[in-house]
Structure 1
């Protein structure tokens, strides 16, 4: 269709196909209802990518420059005005095995009232082929509450998480790969073949385990969260990764298992592409990523003391590891404030000079108020960091040097790595066994014990966390490859857990992944954090970006478990998943995961405050002055406070 829109005519399936664009794998058509005459416009996506441009050119008769000059007033008139002329939305087509239906959705920031939503639905419903069901998809939690007051018979609706749970294709990381397809229906099948996996393999599983080696691509046969350790690693490796329901049936029907294929994940497509090919990968060559070498900041492992976390700053990462330094920096921000908190909102985002007016509204203060003061107040009112101590690299070094047998084992492992012999895994396991069995020298035990008495006296339960210099790096996140131990109570268990964390630095998987990234064993150190364990009603992970759409600067992605953070990042539990806007506010439930129902309104409002706090902290921790580098936050919450237990760069 060459026309800019279908106007005041019935939208048939044929017309929909001619007008549609694609978004997130779904065909969609933009719709405008012009109230004065009751006119309805179904916009041709090939002609106009945005509602505003169509309205300006085809209805108002103004130029793009005029539109941009008054964009804030225009947006207010179409998204927030109660007496608005234009109602804007999109119709998306959803196809299942037995039916097709259209969802009608506004943008997330639209503040339509309940009656306005009902009017919009009825106007669109009347203009669409009666054979096509039309259901309103609430764009945010506020719209869900408004629609709850309207009988379903009057305004049929379907929520985002209901659509997500039935989505057959979810692109997690776009890209393409040429490799050998390896399909494993069970974890036992995977374990039996794990030693045969190679860098050129493309793995298909219901749930890909955390210990997966570096591969050419991943296909998840069941729904997952983009924030699991495996999916974060896949994004860091820049390999194609997607959810594709029914993939095993296709593999069986086309006999693809074990064959060479070309695999592509295209967010605009309906499904993944798996094309069999007779061209095998040249397995004798090194993979392309082998040439990418990660450079570490020179570590200091000589004289640093055991210290309280709140005495550390970001620049201490070369002595205590990135996790400890980040938590120390967070303590500092809460205690002393920061001049960087507003950075994300101060940056120009055309056509707007900045987003500070939006931040003022989120912080519930006037635009001319001291926004930095309001920002730190929000952090202090809502965010806590557990007390803890940090063991520097020098303690690990002294422990390792205290045992000649450990030193000899390290020497053997270094030689095996240098010669690239197949004995590396066995030597890693032997070294881990020696580390666990070696007694920590008395003077080190006394120093740790003294710090615990001084800083954490009275604490009943502890968490012992890893804090390495070989993690959270650009191109090497190391998500999930080092140990952290929860529910530690006695002194003996604390010391055993410290050794377990040290041993995780030389696990077969961590050594293998670092070697692939060009990080030598000589340069890799492990600090240890001993924290008070904080319990809460819920816990989870937040990244201050939308991992399914990295061009979306408004939203952050929050995963929630009613069990533990570990259940989220390990992939053992499919969490409740939310998107929260840190510009206009409000959120929406993307998936209920394994939960039987959504969280209550008060808890979701608390998560909105967490989202704003995350965006402020993103600015503080930003390595540059674009303030666009997202952070990955692990948190636990009760009804009073959100406790951040870990914060690091999100490098996916």
Structure 2
């Protein structure tokens, strides 16, 4: 074949950098080329990514001489022959091009994550590909899973050079957190202090570029993170919920300075298939010359019920109690009920069709270690019961109403928010923090804690509003929760702080922009025994980098607390777990010095599978609608902290 590469692949020839660039596709800032090694003929195929999306389809059409429909009809059998059979005909791999700070320009070679190659097969694949890659190009084998890391741990570097996934990730300058486009005024800040001194103040049409956008960021038109961060920080969850373009672009501030874009009007593009963000200077859009309309978007809120309601044990609540106790309380109550009573919806995600597969139940049986005659529902519930939800009580919206009505001044301040121009919400919040909780209310709260949490010595007091976790209004980190509460006086003070957090200027402004009226937003409170923790984190039942990747669940892990993940201050360990064929991989160590121990990784793999069952049970839209789960763990148990929908 000549170097023009007119066919759908470069076959049996040496791959040069020029060939690579003409064949490659792009994902998450990396250019890649798919590789097929035909062991029967001793031939290598470097596939043109623009012509062939999948290894299997290329093999069907150009090697086996069958149609895609014929392959799809027997897809599970073909997948076994491609990824499981020790005597298989084909090796499948992916070459990615990297510009690494330590290793320079290099190609990494990895298998498909579901591949169960033996160590000998992995080495054979590397050596075969090495023969057909230009000797001037550095080639390193990248373990695709934790299993492969363990397999290759004893292989000497001089025999097969290797590079870990987290080494690649740490050197990757671009990551599309939320794809999209926007026109706006670019505002660049070198540090957080400069951001808080912003002059003129930030507007809805601004696009902010800084090392890491802080948790209290207002609604904007776009975000550029010049430093690495996790998709699961509160700020990035908000950006996803708002649907605004958001990316990591290392070095963005220097680029903005070099091109004189700070303060300029730009067209901002975040495309996962691009090599980086695009910032193009434009004229000032006429749409920003008029004041911001009353709402940026219109969010639907179920009317709250503020009629007299009891302080309830979490275990007595169900998901339908959102209108009286708020989202967190209702979801925690549903979780407790689920752990006790089970559900006929646990298997829904695996029973759904994944074209061309009618369902994934065979894979689920394999993950659960049961055969076709077993009670799969029972096995799923047994796994689910490996996690716990700490006991607690839920304070209804009615109690918040009683608190507000106990002070005429509080009532007048709330009235001032109802009609434009809105009153001073910061004054209302400060007033709420100073107003004593009525003695009758205080006694009821403490009586409920004694009745349901009498043995607890440490509490967490959580916000639970109806104006959160909504389509278009995620509200992650918007309201106050208080951890480490140890006295009854501190519990009452924390409850008051949670109630007052409904009236922060930022919260009032964001709800106004979402079309949520003052009287449609109410605050409930959850008081729980605080779960002990040696590590914590967040998982979402999707892959934020590749939303069409239905197999993987994405986890962020901190060896200190959930807060380390969601507050965006540090970088957590980032992992993916395959909930179809099984297995997992660490894609970033973040701030950690080393990866988790094998036992912890196995526990989190099971937690990922539990996440699928919870996704199916809660089914906010369809069984494919992902959920966001916060959790904490000790060596002997995992406790779920909260569950909510995750915007994609």
Q: Say if 2:184 and 2:221, in contact at 8 Å, map to a contact too.
A: yes
Q: 1:451 to 1:361 in 2, by over 3 A?
A: same
Residue equivalent to 1:66: 70
Supply the distance in 1 between the matched residues of 2:66 and 2:520 (Cα, whole angstroms).
Answer: 62
Supply the distance in 2 between the matched residues of 1:224 and 1:267 (Cα, whole angstroms).
Answer: 16
Q: Say if 2:296 and 2:513, in contact at 8 Å, map to a contact too.
A: no
Q: Say if 2:294 and 2:515, in contact at 8 Å, map to a contact too.
A: no
Matched, 1:279 2:284: yes
Residue equivalent to 2:133: 128
SS of corresponding position for 2:224: strand
Residue equivalent to 1:614: 611
Q: Say if 1:472 and 1:651, in contact at 8 Å, map to a contact too.
A: no
Matched, 1:19 2:23: yes
Residue equivalent to 1:640: 636
Matched, 1:88 2:92: yes
Kindly state the Cα deviation for residue 45 of structure 1 after the two structures are TM-superposed. Answer: 2.0
**Deviation string for 1:395-434 (max 9, x for gaps)?**
000111011111111122323xx235xxx5xx21211121
Matches within 5 A, 1:92-111: 92-96=96-100, 99-111=104-116
Residue equivalent to 1:503: 500
Q: Say if 1:213 and 1:513, in contact at 8 Å, map to a contact too.
A: yes
Q: 1:194 to 1:567 in 2, by over 3 A?
A: farther
Matched, 1:4 2:8: yes
Residue equivalent to 2:253: 248
Kindly state the Cα deviation for residue 288 of structure 1 after the two structures are TM-superposed. Answer: 8.3
Gaps of 5+ in 2: none
Kindly state the Cα deviation for residue 503 of structure 1 after the two structures are TM-superposed. Answer: 0.2
Residue equivalent to 1:593: 590
Residue equivalent to 1:306: 311
Within the candidate set 394, 418, 421, 1:419 is matched to 421
The more displaced of 336-345 and 296-305 is 296-305
Q: Say if 1:114 and 1:150, in contact at 8 Å, map to a contact too.
A: no
Gaps of 5+ in 1: none
Supply the distance in 2 between the matched residues of 1:274 and 1:267 (Cα, whole angstroms).
Answer: 15
Q: Say if 1:312 and 1:325, in contact at 8 Å, map to a contact too.
A: yes
Residue equivalent to 2:437: 440
Matches within 5 A, 1:61-460: 61-96=65-100, 99-193=104-198, 196-285=201-290, 290=295, 292-380=297-385, 382-415=386-419, 418-419=420-421, 424=423, 427-460=424-457
Residue equivalent to 1:463: 460
Matched, 1:41 2:38: no
Supply the distance in 2 between the matched residues of 1:569 and 1:50 (Cα, whole angstroms).
Answer: 35
Q: Say if 1:536 and 1:636, in contact at 8 Å, map to a contact too.
A: yes
Supply the distance in 1 between the matched residues of 2:68 and 2:223 (Cα, whole angstroms).
Answer: 43
Supply the distance in 1 between the matched residues of 2:563 and 2:603 (Cα, whole angstroms).
Answer: 21
Aligned residues: 643
Supply the distance in 2 between the matched residues of 1:394 and 1:133 (Cα, whole angstroms).
Answer: 66
Matched, 1:482 2:486: no
Q: 1:116 to 1:479 in 2, by over 3 A?
A: same
Supply the distance in 1 between the matched residues of 2:57 and 2:294 (Cα, whole angstroms).
Answer: 42
Kindly state the Cα deviation for residue 441 of structure 1 after the two structures are TM-superposed. Answer: 1.5
Supply the distance in 2 between the matched residues of 1:50 and 1:385 (Cα, whole angstroms).
Answer: 42
Q: Say if 1:436 and 1:499, in contact at 8 Å, map to a contact too.
A: yes
Supply the distance in 2 between the matched residues of 1:58 and 1:65 (Cα, whole angstroms).
Answer: 14
Kindly state the Cα deviation for residue 138 of structure 1 after the two structures are TM-superposed. Answer: 1.0
TM-score normalised by length of structure 2:
0.97
Supply the distance in 1 between the matched residues of 2:76 and 2:503 (Cα, whole angstroms).
Answer: 55
Supply the distance in 2 between the matched residues of 1:550 and 1:3 (Cα, whole angstroms).
Answer: 30
SS of corresponding position for 1:623: coil
Supply the distance in 1 between the matched residues of 2:504 and 2:330 (Cα, whole angstroms).
Answer: 23
Q: 1:23 to 1:651 in 2, by over 3 A?
A: closer
**Deviation string for 1:362-388 (max 9, x for gaps)?**
1111133111110000011x2000010
Supply the distance in 2 between the matched residues of 1:53 and 1:62 (Cα, whole angstroms).
Answer: 9
TM-score normalised by length of structure 1:
0.97
Within the candidate set 541, 545, 559, 2:538 is matched to 541
Residue equivalent to 2:627: 631
Instruction: Name the Cα RMSD after superposition.
Output: 1.4
Kindly state the Cα deviation for residue 14 of structure 1 after the two structures are TM-superposed. Answer: 1.5
**Deviation string for 1:413-472 (max 9, x for gaps)?**
323xx235xxx5xx2121112111111112111111111111000211100000000000
**Deviation string for 1:301-352 (max 9, x for gaps)?**
1111001100000111100001000000000000000000000000011111
The more displaced of 149-158 and 118-127 is 149-158
SS of corresponding position for 2:401: helix
Kindly state the Cα deviation for residue 287 of structure 1 after the two structures are TM-superposed. Answer: 5.7
Deviation above 6 Å: which 4+ runs of structure 1? none
Matches within 5 A, 1:575-586: 575-586=572-583
**Deviation string for 1:533-585 (max 9, x for gaps)?**
11111001111111111111111110011111111101012100111111111
